[in-house]
């Protein structure tokens, strides 16, 4: 029994890891394609059919580039920066429930790497560590632009984590649990949290843009002021890791959005499908539904990127501290009153 | 700006309010309300504008497979023409060189020998005719100046082939004169018609 669980979990972890990498890889292609379409262009279409091999070509190109080290005393930190970024981007996927369960080889396989009861706290912890990748990288670059960019990134993440946490508190008050599995299960059918927590969802959405360093909050890599930002001094695959980590964390935060507010793997008629088609079929559809939701959010990230220009730094701070945090607190109070009245 | 009738009613015609382009916008510096400062409405509006472009026809021309249609007045590589009997038309009068604003054309005239009657149409011909393609601006003034209709700018898409040697860009008669088989084909076409 013990052995089979270890094998099952290791296979599952490898699969999740592969899927996350694949999604991040193709998110880079999707980014370029969506950018092109929104600008009335076609986008990359030479490598493979419709540009399907473009991410491989990009990766190969980055591997073939010269490995450059700036004249910095912190060679170790210089390498640690992208490594931390990448590993934190991939770590979050451990607690995501990708589906309910599959019935294979006479036993139930839970579609989650690990179901810890403080999954939300775990996610927040890992997300907060994520900023160290940028900070350490920017610091170790020994370059004032990188350092400024790192400062911006860290102060931005700290300010938006507050609003994000407050938005989540309202959600947790409603669900009464920190486990993502239970939160998913509670949203069965069309009982999605977004209908009960629209304001919380909006705040969370805005903050997740800031947390993943995406436009309009990509001040950390503001080309006009900071050259490349924290990855100015990076080249070859270390640079590739930073860029890749951005897409991986975009995938993960889309997943979190889908799981927390858009019902996760739930879709209307899941009970009917379980009764008529069996557990496996119903849950495979559920995984597909979850990935459709994730893809929508990834598209949304790109859609917003090519719509809104970058915020100015003071606007960013004002939005975070003076708009989102009061709004999130008001949301908590209203949620509390409603819970008190309905119980 | 609305039609003139309404415009007269609404705005006083003064130098401050008149809009000649019809696109004048009053810039106001008023303080944003709380909802405006969340930028939500503006962002949603912007999102709808961009999503409309997702479904628009793409303007890209996929170059090697598709090519842009040439303008009817397109001017490409020069060619020194031959007449119906395959003789060179150029008489080395030098008017093309004179008219050339880039001073790209040089030539050397020579008298036709009696045994060269089948090669050159006039009694005088250009023994050397060179165009410096680095100077040429493809304006077509040489074509206009030519009294013998000897030099033409063709519709060729291939303009000047890239080269690392500057000398290679001075095109002599070997590259400029119309190939003989082309002249033969032209004559055949004409007689067939």
B123-177 pLDDT, tens digit per residue, is 899 999 999 999 999 998 999 999 988 998 988 887 788 889 998 899 998 888 8
Is B116 domain-assigned? yes
pLDDT of residue B38: 67
Comparing A45-59, A253-267, B5-19, B41-55, which segment has the lowest mean pLDDT? B5-19
Per-residue pLDDT tens digits for A2-38: 788 888 888 888 888 888 888 888 988 999 999 898 8
- Rounded-to-integer distance, Cα A195 and Cα A263, Å: 10
Chain B (16-35) residues lying within 8 Å, Cβ to Cβ, of chain A = 34
Give CA–CA dist B83/B184, Å, rounded: 10
Of the two residues A323 and B193, the one the predictor is more confident about is A323
Give tens-digit pLDDT for B68-108. Answer: 888 888 888 899 988 888 888 899 899 999 999 999 999 99
B31 in a domain, yes or no? no
> Coil, strand, or helix at residue B67?
coil
Domain assignment of residue A57, yes or no: no
Which among A37, A304, A318 has the least Cβ separation from residue B54? A37
> Does residue B58 lie in a domain region?
no
Say which CATH number the domain at B108 has: 3.30.70.3270
- Quick check: is A5 in a domain? no
Cβ count within 10 A of residue A296: 15
pLDDT at A1: 61
Does A161 fall in a domain?
Answer: yes
Contact B38 A303 (CB under 8 A): no
Q: Which of A71-85, A105-119, A245-259, B51-65 has the lowest mean pLDDT?
A: A105-119
Summarize the annotated binding site of B as residue ranges: 90, 93, 96, 100, 136, 139, 142, 146
Residue A109 bridge partners (DSSP) = A102
What one-character DSSP code corresponds to residue B112? P
The residues of A whose Cβ lies within 8 A of any Cβ of B are 34, 37-42, 45, 202, 303-304, 306-308, 318-319, 323, 327
Average pLDDT over residues A181-188: 84
Please report, in angstroms and rounded to a whole number, the separation of the first and last CA atoms in chain B.
61
Point out the least confidently predicted range of A90-104, A234-248, B70-84.
A90-104
Least confident among A94-98, A298-302, B104-108, B135-139 = A94-98
Say if B91 falls within a structural domain: yes
- Answer whether B49 touches A (CB < 8 Å): yes
Provide, rounded to the nearest whole percent, the portion of chain A with pLDDT above 90: 5
Structural domain boundaries, residue A164: 65-100+114-342
Number of independent structural domains in chain B: 1
pTM as predicted: 0.78
Q: How many domains, chain A?
A: 1
The band of B1, judged by pLDDT with boundaries at 50, 70 and 90, is: very low
What is the residue range of B82's domain?
Answer: 77-192
DSSP letters spanning A131-194: HHHHHHHHHHTT-HHHHHHHHHHHHHHHHHHHHHHHHHHHHHHHH----HHHHHHHT-TT--HH
B51 and A303 within 8 Å at the Cβ level: the answer is yes
């Amino acid at each position: 029994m013990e052995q089979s669980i270890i094998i099952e979990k290791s296979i599952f972890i490898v699969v999740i890891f592969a899927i996350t990498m694949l999604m991040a890889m193709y998110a880079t292609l999707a980014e370029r394609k969506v950018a092109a379409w929104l600008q009335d262009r076609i986008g990359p279409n030479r490598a493979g059919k419709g540009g399907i091999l473009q991410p491989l070509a990009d990766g190969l190109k980055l591997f073939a580039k010269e490995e450059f080290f700036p004249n910095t005393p912190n060679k170790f930190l210089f390498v640690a920066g992208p490594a931390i970024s990448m590993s934190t981007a991939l770590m979050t996927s451990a607690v995501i429930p990708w589906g309910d369960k599959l019935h294979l080889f006479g036993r139930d396989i839970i579609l989650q790497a690990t179901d810890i009861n403080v999954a939300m706290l775990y996610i927040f912890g890992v997300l907060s560590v994520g900023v160290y990748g940028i900070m350490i990288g920017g610091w170790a670059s020994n370059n004032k632009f990188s350092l400024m960019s790192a400062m911006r990134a860290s102060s931005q993440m700290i300010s938006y984590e507050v609003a994000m946490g407050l938005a989540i508190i309202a959600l947790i008050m409603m669900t009464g649990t920190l486990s993502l599995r239970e939160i998913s299960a509670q949203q069965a059918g069309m009982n999605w949290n977004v209908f009960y927590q629209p304001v919380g969802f909006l705040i969370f959405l805005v903050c997740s843009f800031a947390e993943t360093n995406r436009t309009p909050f990509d001040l950390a890599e503001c080309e006009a002021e900071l050259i490349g930002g924290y990855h100015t001094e990076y080249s070859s695959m270390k640079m590739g890791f930073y860029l890749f980590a951005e897409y991986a964390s975009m995938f993960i935060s889309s997943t979190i959005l889908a799981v927390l507010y858009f019902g996760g793997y739930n879709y209307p008629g899941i009970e009917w499908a379980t009764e008529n088609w069996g557990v496996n079929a119903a849950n495979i559809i559920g995984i597909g539904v979850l990935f459709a939701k994730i893809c929508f959010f990834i598209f949304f990230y790109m859609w917003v990127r090519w719509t809104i220009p970058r915020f100015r730094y003071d606007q960013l701070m004002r939005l975070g501290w003076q708009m989102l945090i009061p709004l999130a607190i008001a949301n908590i109070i209203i949620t509390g009153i409603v819970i008190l009245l309905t119980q | 700006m609305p039609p003139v009738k309404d415009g007269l009613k609404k705005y006083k015609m003064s130098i401050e309010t008149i809009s000649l382009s019809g696109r004048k916008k009053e810039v106001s510096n008023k303080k944003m309300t709380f909802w405006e400062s969340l930028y939500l409405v503006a962002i949603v509006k912007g999102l709808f504008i961009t999503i409309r472009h997702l479904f628009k026809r793409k303007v890209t021309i996929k170059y090697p497979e598709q090519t842009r249609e040439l303008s009817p007045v397109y001017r490409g590589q020069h060619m020194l023409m031959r007449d119906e009997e395959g003789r060179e038309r150029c008489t080395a009068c030098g008017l093309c060189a004179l008219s050339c604003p880039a001073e790209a054309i040089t030539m050397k005239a020579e008298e036709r020998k009696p045994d060269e009657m089948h090669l050159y149409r006039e009694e005088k011909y250009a023994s050397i005719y060179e165009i410096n393609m680095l100077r040429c601006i493809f304006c077509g003034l040489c074509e206009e100046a030519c009294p013998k209709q000897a030099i033409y700018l063709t519709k060729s898409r291939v303009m000047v082939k890239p080269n690392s040697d500057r000398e290679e860009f001075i095109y002599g008669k070997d590259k400029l004169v119309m190939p003989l088989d082309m002249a033969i084909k032209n004559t055949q076409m004409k007689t067939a018609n």
